[in-house]
Chains A and B, each alone.
Chain A
């Protein structure tokens, strides 16, 4: 990690994601993210209700080809364990006990897939289902620390990534993001002019607890990673005027 200045910042990645005009650009972005998080692999895998797949990521192309050729979609415990779910899943918690699953894992590892993994399922519109996955080789403690520390950012990123993928796919539309409500606009405006959270809460006559939920919600609607980023994006989009 001695080359921090070379590692792209998350805000840049998000900006790049928003500007992406072709699905191929998602490949560059996911490589950036892999470097940012310093994990072996990062993969986005979309499965439609009609079984079509789209993916990008850093796995060895040989493994991707093999996965498709062998029809591993039907036995991959990650896909089976995450399908129709909405909670993030550590691969250790999946059922790898079946013969086919064990053979699959062996084949994956032979192709350089790490034995640790964390997958975030995403439910899109019309039965769209996608997985955003990090994989790595390290011990359990290291992996637990990594996922504990980063899981919320990764969950947000997974959803932003999927929104872009849906936008770029012909004939698809992401679930429309709800507009900021007037209360959220007020919140972001007051934060933008430098009010502290306590001052914003007092001005809006709400608790700081309620304010935290407003900010959380506004952050997601604005496609941002943190509050500062959310304020900047709200201003850039003209959703708040200071």
Chain B
């Protein structure tokens, strides 16, 4: 299932949080050889994790991390504005309706459909919160996966070679793409909506309650 957690809520899910930061170390340091910082516990964190971002996390049946991504509004500090302006045509995106999406990560043991499930979560965030655009920083080789899922980003630019190539791209919401991604993920839209609702407070049906 997908869980949506802000940084300050991770402490309630210690196993999920630990395995997320471990899987990030495994993906970004070990496999992609990016210049990221891994601490003594084998966890990868950066300065943006300190800004209390929102994470969308795939939690496996065993309660471990399967995949995740991280969101921050571009009204505050963002990785793309601080490190990747050379890939955006020099445009520092800034709006409460544009969120940054970074550290898209899949565990080595990720199950089929998990990447699609995370993209589905991105769509829920856009729909649920009125966000119009995501600007993402991702491993350039992810583009193939995004295309296969049916959620292709508009790639603005790419730098670096091979495993270290990094791209910046844009997503916006479309009903059609959301349906496509839902099929690829094998997760009905209602189920995805349900996970979102569970994380952000379920709306209790008000029938008969509205005496006023």
Binding site for B on A (CB under 8 A): 81, 84-90, 92-95, 115, 123, 137, 139-140, 151-152, 155-156, 158-159, 175, 177-178, 181-184, 206-207, 209-210, 212-214, 216-217, 219-221
B8 CB–A CB distance under 8 Å: yes
A209 pairs with B206, CB closer than 8 A? no
A221 vs B93: C-alpha distance in the bound complex, in angstroms? 9
Q: How far apart sit A92 and B143, CA to CA, in the bound complex (Å)?
A: 38
B80-116 to A contact mask, C-beta < 8 Å, 1/0: 0100000001111111111000000000000000000
Given contacts A216-B97, A217-B98, A220-B95, 11 further A-B contacts (CB under 8 A): A92-B203, A93-B203, A95-B201, A123-B75, A151-B130, A152-B130, A181-B91, A213-B172, A216-B95, A219-B95, A220-B75
Which residues of the partner chain A approach B130 to less than 8 Å between Cβ atoms?
88, 151-152, 155
Q: Is the CB of B54 within 8 A of A87?
A: yes
> Quick check: A115 and B98 within 8 Å, CB to CB?
no
Residues of chain B within 8 A (CB-CB) of A90 are: 203
Taking CB atoms, residues of chain A closer than 8 Å to B129 are 87-88
Task: Determine whether the beta carbon of B91 is less than 8 Å from that of A212.
Answer: no
Chain B residues with Cβ below 8 Å from A183 are 89-91
Could you name 12 residue pairs across A and B whose Cβ atoms are closer than 8 Å? A84-B6, A86-B54, A87-B129, A92-B206, A123-B73, A123-B75, A156-B96, A181-B92, A206-B89, A209-B172, A212-B172, A214-B91
B61 at the interface (CB under 8 A from A): no
In the complex formed, the residue of A with least CB distance to B207 is A140
- How many B residues face the partner with a CB closer than 8 A? 39
Nearest residue in A to B4 (C-beta to C-beta)?
Answer: A87
- Asked whether, in the complex, the Cβ of B135 is within 8 Å of the Cβ of A213, the reply is yes
Residues on B close to A: CB < 8 A? 6, 8, 52, 54, 72-76, 81, 89-98, 125, 128-130, 132-133, 135, 154, 156, 170, 172, 200-204, 206, 210, 212
Cβ of A178 and Cβ of B81 under 8 Å apart?
yes
* Given A137-B212, A152-B132, A210-B156, CB of A217 within 8 Å of CB of B93: yes
What's the dominant secondary structure at chain A's contact region?
A: helix
Q: Chain B contact residues: over half helix, strand or loop, or mixed?
A: loop
Assuming the contacts A177-B94, A216-B95, asked whether A210 and B154 have C-beta atoms less than 8 A apart, the reply is yes
What's the least CB distance linking A231 to chain B, in Å?
Answer: 16
Name the residue on A nearest B172 (C-beta).
A209
Q: Which residues of B contact A184 (CB under 8 A)?
A: 91
CB atoms of A159 and B203 under 8 A apart:
no
- What A residues does B170 contact at CB under 8 A? 209-210, 213
Asked if B201 and A181 make an inter-chain contact with CB atoms under 8 angstroms apart, the answer reads no
Which chain A residue shows the least CB distance to B135? A213
A123 and B210 in contact (CB under 8 A), knowing A155-B96, A183-B90, A220-B94? no
Interface contact B156-A220, CB-CB below 8 Å: no
* Inter-chain contacts of A139 with B (CB < 8 A): 206, 210
- The residue of chain A having its C-beta at the shortest distance from the C-beta of B90 within the complex is A181
Chain A residues near B52 (CB, 8 Å)?
Answer: 84
Q: Which 3 A-B pairs have the closest CB atoms?
A: A93-B201, A220-B95, A151-B130
CA gap between A88 and B89 in the complex, in Å: 30
